Amino acid sequence: MLIAALGGSCIAVGMSQDNPSAGRFEGRTHILPARIYYEDTDFTGVVYHANYLRFFERGRSDFLRLAGVDHTAMLAGPEPLGFAVNRITLEFRRPAQIDDALQVISHFDTVQGPRIFVNQRIEKNGELLVTAALEVCCINLTGRPRKPPNLLLERLKPFLGP
């Protein structure tokens, strides 16, 4: 990365400043870095419990984005499709606090008909804070379950368990 000074301002050359990180894959595992901001916490500086759902959603969305699944294209297809969470089980082990740097770790495990099974966890410096086990369903715009499109299945195949 090259740093250039322009009129008293410094900019990084060769690095996109406009595209947020979608994380990375390590094997079948997706890792999304996340920071805890004031807005994520309650009055004590601890993450409000419901906000962990937002971090998990971002992890799943960025997993799919990096795997080549385009949410907009799914909605624009001949039969517009999206996702709905049918079931989620959370286990809280330790709280995250304001300014913590976390990792949202996501595994897409299996697909059975319209259902996709996902396991996620949030860690801080390798310490487990929260786990989530999810059943997500592919649905049409009226909320009816639908088998995921072939392109989605092809993109997920390298990441699913044996």
Name the token pair of 58: 């971002």
Domain membership flag for residue 2: no
| Rounded Cα gap, residues 28 and 137, in angstroms | 21
Q: For the chain, state the CA radius of gyration.
A: 18
**What would the mean pLDDT of 30-36 be, rounded to a whole number?**
98
Q: Considering its fold, how many domains does the chain have in total?
A: 1
pLDDT > 80? residue 19:
no
Domain membership flag for residue 17: no
Domain membership flag for residue 6: no
Domain membership flag for residue 124: yes
**What would the mean pLDDT of 88-115 be, rounded to a whole number?**
97
- We report the CATH number of the domain holding residue 104 as 3.10.129.10
Q: What is the domain range of residue 145?
A: 22-159
Report in angstroms the alpha-carbon separations of 151 from 68, 77, 132.
Answer: 9, 11, 26
Domain membership flag for residue 11: no
**Does 100 participate in catalysis according to the annotation?**
no
Domain membership flag for residue 76: yes
Domain membership flag for residue 7: no
Domain membership flag for residue 8: no
Instruction: Specify the pLDDT at position 20.
Output: 82
- Binned at pLDDT 50, 70 and 90, residue 149 comes out as very high
For residue 99, the tally of other CB atoms under 10 A from its CB is 11
Q: Give the active site residue among 18, 40, 42, 109.
A: 42
Task: Identify residue 59 by its one-letter amino acid code.
Answer: G
Instruction: Specify the pLDDT at position 16.
Output: 57
| Rounded Cα gap, residues 33 and 58, in angstroms | 10
